[in-house]
Amino acid sequence: MAITDIDAYAHLTDADIEALGAELDEIRRDIEDSRGERDARYVRRTIAFQRAMAAGGRVALMFSDRRPMWLLGTAALSLAKIVENMELGHNVMHGQWDWMNDPEIHSSAWEWDNTCPSAQWKHSHNFVHHKFTNIVGMDDDVGYGILRVTRDQDWEWWNVGNTVYNLLLGTFFEVGVALHHIETEKLRNKEKTHAQAAKDLRIIGRKVGKQAVKDYAIFPALAGPRWRTTLTANFTSNIIRNYWAYMVIFCGHFPDGAEKFTVDEYESEDQPRWYLRQMLGSANFRAGPVMRFMSGNLSHQIEHHMFPDLPSNRYEEIGVRVRALCEKYDLPYTTGSLLHQYFQSFRTILKLSVPNALLKATSDDAPETASELRFSIREGMQRHFGNDPVTGHRRGLRTALRELRTAPVRSA
């Protein structure tokens, strides 16, 4: 089941958690105090690069009856859409660049190249997801209303289509993101009226219409006799962008080690424990400079969830300090290769398409969702460190978790 007591799961005392929170606050202050021209130059260069790729792709597609030019134009346009969505739109709308007081690069004014209206995104993502991260029943990103990704979600007959829904979501991810604001789970539970959903749909419909006209009418028309090849290039670049964004986001939220939480845990939460929930509920993947840029620096999903409004180009240096804190307090720092993280996410989606009764592991020790009931802290301390309470309480969790995840018994 999901974590009901984050203190017990993290094996930390109240003093430890307060100290951890203070050190994370210090990281925030250091980055805020050091923001300056270097960061402003980075985002302005990113905007210039993205626009150059978009313009270059459009020019190439004017000659798209030649296959090399179609490939070149599609690649450039795909790159432009990825950068605009990941490193610009997502991060700008988080307010990462509001400190510059530049009206062009401000969260209140940015409208991204996506079918999801920015105002709805800032509510469903910036507020709901980042405030209630991985709290089952409160964070709609836990499964996006259509996927079963934890055993805390009751199995229903339609969950047998988990992998099919996953494929459709990845293919048309921008549409899935737009419809996410409809909050289908609340609609099913009658926590939201159909009239409210219809109002949201009308707003989404207007944005979808603008995107469709731009990509499938205006630009193909401007290409003249190459309208057909331009249209297919636009469609292809949207699909490529969708798959990439989908993979990056899933790798940060659904691999093993990205834990889930209960409402009870949230009700007694303070700022240091909010930090702790973000650390335990997110996952990174290893990336070099190019991969970090292409992912909008969401290869550092842990750091992003703790500091969503700090400049994305600083997540790498923040990550060094966060990882050191995880070592200091013996907390897991969940990371792995992109393919490894996605494989674990897909395995969970495939596995949870069937009822819990058909699975070997219990809901307390399933690899995709752990809880403080998964292991006995006292037994773990005694097994690995004898009866030394000081050493045991500071260093027992990661060793016990590693042993349980590699144990041959009760495996998933």
Residues 239-269 pLDDT 10s: 999 999 999 999 999 999 999 999 988 888 9
Q: Report the pLDDT value the prediction gives residue 409, as an integer from 0 to 100.
A: 43
- Whether the Cβ atoms of residue 224 and residue 63 lie closer than 8 Å to each other: no
> Does pTM surpass 0.85?
yes
Q: Which residues of the chain have pLDDT under 50?
A: 377-378, 381, 389-395, 405-412
Which residues share a beta bridge with 370? 365
The four Cα atoms 246, 106, 312, 38 give a dihedral, to 10 degrees, of 150
Distance CA 364, CA 236 (A): 42
Per-residue pLDDT reduced to its tens digit, 10-35: 999 999 999 999 999 999 999 999 99
Distance CA 117, CA 176 (A): 12
- Whether the Cβ atoms of residue 286 and residue 316 lie closer than 8 Å to each other: no
Q: Which of 59, 64, 23, 95 is nearest to 304 (CA)?
A: 95
Q: Which of 369, 350, 357, 356 is nearest to 160 (CA)?
A: 350
Which H/E stretch holds residue 366? strand 365-366
In the block, which residue shows the tokens 């045991």?
392
Q: Which of 384, 313, 386, 377 is nearest to 9 (CA)?
A: 377
- Whether the Cβ atoms of residue 280 and residue 331 lie closer than 8 Å to each other: yes
In residues, how long is the chain?
412
Instruction: Using the CB atoms, write b or e for 91-125: b if 16+ within 10 Å.
Output: bbbbbbbebbeeeebbbeebebbbbbbbebbbebb
Q: Report the pLDDT value the prediction gives residue 402, as an integer from 0 to 100.
A: 53
Q: Which of 262, 404, 274, 401 is nearest to 334 (CA)?
A: 401
Distance CA 83, CA 78 (A): 9
The torsion region of residue 167 among left (phi > 0), alpha (psi -120 to 50) and beta comes to alpha
Q: Report the pLDDT value the prediction gives residue 361, as an integer from 0 to 100.
A: 76
